[in-house]
A and B are shown apart, each in its own frame.
Chain A
């Protein structure tokens, strides 16, 4: 009886077949190309690849630890405070998640370059330090955000009890905070670790040269110029084994029972030190961003050529995200084989994007499909790439709803459609719109897939930026990047705003 398929499983099976099909096809495409070109041998010694492998893990570890060192105090400072400004603060902090490498470099060197504070310490923003700082720049806010959400969902009674017992801050975190946070910390740590292993733009731009090559970058290098699918295939295999094992640990460690968050605004006292911490954070983190925007927005704002790519970026991002959201909901729709579903949803960060794109493109153009425009291919690839983000954002609330109301709607004989309309949609709307905005931004900022398939299919802002850079038009490119920054900021603010309403409604 447990293995009988029910009609409820249909969407899930379709999603499984689609996702696994794409990944298997890409493996097939790459392997067949690799075996066709097997005379390619690498003249690099094994020692080099050993160093690449250990550097990959080492930089990811350092980056993750640094992200936590910055993110945790940040979370502790922001939790239960600055209620009104918080969504926008978090949005501002996440901005750089999606910028073109050039812009990240430009922003970082404004703070860290020749005239910056780091240089006065005699440190270079390139190399390992640059990579670690860049990753921390991206991921610390992500860590802070996850931790804040978990902290703020500690039951009111426990908070009141700890206040009643007169616990110090330290005692509070030791006895109340940490036990609630353990599983969140574990899964966030591994997720950030995965992101840093797969990170591409940061390592490429701030790595500073051949000394800091990661597996992902090495795969890109072997495909971009050499077109050496053989080397790419075995590098991809090494990376997949690494990330897969981490992902499995992550999924196992986060498979705890979802707890029900409560809305509390304790109105904790905001002390002077919190303001100081906040302001110094803003200065270090956000000032370079704002400077960049104000400095370059004037280049383009009086003209109109940015409107079309911006609009197209949005349309494009929306389409891809919708497709990905459909996959996500299909995966969530039934409880059966949950761990496997989670793994499948996360294939996008386990499997290198570059390899997915190349493998599928090879297969596409070697089949009869090749004469068609690769639009469908592009949409499929991009939706698989953002699926892990959407799934991560939606699976928790989804499980919580299921846990809380599952018996009730089963008892009331509600059909899938009625469940969606009366139970799931109203409750998941907030996180959904939130993650929808974030995914749209991620797609808008992506340049890996366009670089592989040719620019003419991608009329987006990122591609326009790359185009103007190729033609010496740096000022215009920076201006477009400023537009993209603003659009991103807007979408992130929306995301935070809607992400919050979930709690407000309770």
Chain B
């Protein structure tokens, strides 16, 4: 009898303990979830021993195939710091994010705007003068020194074609415009950096007579795509004869795919260059580190990494890979002044728009 009461008492105790445990477990798990959520939302603000350099760039720069990871490794080896990337879809999106987020844009350094965006980017007030003395740039580069920005790679816009399918590519823009049976694809100048490049290229060749040229190009055009990748995809699929890209694109196929099918058509009139630039945030606490990084970007080692992973030309004279170094050099056209671009851009776009409708 006594034993039985004891048993019951024990049972009740156990039951209470169990409920208490369950209660605690529940509150524990709730608080864990809350903690996780909070830590998910707040950027980690814990004190770090090493300084961190936050670099904002475009997405393809930091993919596993891009130069980002390799540069990070090399730079962290020598700087006793850590490098952190954040990304936007492409160069223009970077600038838009700065406009959109303002001071909340988390970056000490912005890498991947291009020359044509300089005046717009400067106008945001987001950047500070770099005050760096740069190493001598490549001979064929037509770069006008800028107080805020430093170039880190470049490429000429060009139409790429498949050698096995197109035996006699046009040798001038004029020939392309009048060619009876070639179709081209290019990205929309309103949506893509490469497409915008075509706008500059055309205006730099034609100067006054763009309307007729756009109308002729519209007759050659299979389609205008939203981005570079759709255009280039159509070329690879064999749907289009030529796609607008960079004159360095064939090097990718040669080096990675060991295929020499693709080549850039070089035009007599010359080619417009895209120069990609890097700039430092105006109020960054890591200004010194940012400058070290920019100087690091211009070393031969980094230039080689960028060229062979971003598929662009280096901005200093350096040997990279024979396939890239030996690409036939296009004739360069002088770039527009940043001010000219910001003044003319709108009318260039509407000029293209009004003359390219079929």
Question: Which residues of chain A have a CB within 8 Å of any CB of chain B?
Answer: 42-45, 48, 101-102, 105-106, 109, 113-114, 124, 126-127, 204-211, 220-221, 223-227, 358, 361-362, 365-366, 370-373, 375-376, 450-451, 454-456, 466-474, 477
Contact = CB atoms under 8 A, between A and B. Distances in A.
Given A205-B226, A224-B96, A455 B311 contact: no
Contacts of B104: 365, 370-371
B41 A373 contact: yes
Contacts of B100: 227, 358, 361-362, 365
A365 B101 contact: yes
A127 B222 CA distance: 10
B291 interface: no
Given A45-B354, A371-B104, A474-B236, 5 more contacts: A105-B230, A210-B356, A224-B93, A224-B96, A454-B86
A466 B353 contact: no
A227 B94 CA distance: 12
A469 to B, nearest CB: 4
Given A209-B221, A210-B356, A43 B346 contact: yes
B59 A376 contact: no
Contact of A209 (B42, B196, B223): B223
B66 A373 contact: no
A372 B37 CA distance: 12
B76 interface: no
Interface residues of B, number: 63
Interface string B57-93: 0111001011000000000000000000011111011
B190 A209 contact: no
Interface string B1-43: 0000000000000000000000000000000000000001111
Interface of B: 40-43, 58-60, 63, 65-66, 86-90, 92-93, 95-97, 99-105, 188, 190-192, 196, 218, 221-230, 232-234, 236-239, 249, 252, 256, 311, 346-347, 350, 352-354, 356-358
A103 to B, nearest CB: 10
A454 to B, nearest CB: 5
Contact of B353 (A210, A227, A455, A470): A210
A365 B99 CA distance: 10
Contacts of B196: 225
24 contacts: A44-B350, A44-B354, A101-B230, A105-B233, A204-B191, A205-B225, A205-B226, A208-B223, A209-B188, A209-B218, A220-B191, A226-B346, A227-B95, A227-B99, A370-B101, A372-B41, A456-B87, A467-B60, A468-B65, A470-B63, A471-B65, A471-B66, A474-B229, A474-B232
A365 B102 contact: yes
B89 A455 contact: yes
A48 to B, nearest CB: 7
A104 to B, nearest CB: 10
Contacts of B236: 474
B60 A455 contact: no
A126 B358 CA distance: 11
A361 B104 CA distance: 11
A322 B226 CA distance: 32
Contacts of A208: 221-224
Contacts of A221: 188, 190-191
Contacts of A106: 233, 237
B358 A466 contact: no
Contacts of B65: 468, 471-473
Contact of B190 (A42, A211, A225): A225
Contact of A225 (B191, B233, B234): B191
A375 B40 contact: yes
A113 B236 CA distance: 13
B90 A470 contact: yes
A470 B358 contact: no
Contacts of A45: 354
A208 B63 CA distance: 29
A141 to B, nearest CB: 24
A211 B223 CA distance: 10
B59 A470 contact: yes
Residue picked from B102, B104, B226, most chain A C-beta under 10 Å: B226
B227 to A, nearest CB: 8
A102 B97 contact: no
A468 B357 contact: no
B233 A469 contact: yes
A372 B38 CA distance: 10
Nearest to B257: A472
A211 B226 contact: no
Contacts of A227: 95-96, 99-100
A402 to B, nearest CB: 34
B354 to A, nearest CB: 7
Contacts of A210: 188, 224, 352-353, 356-357
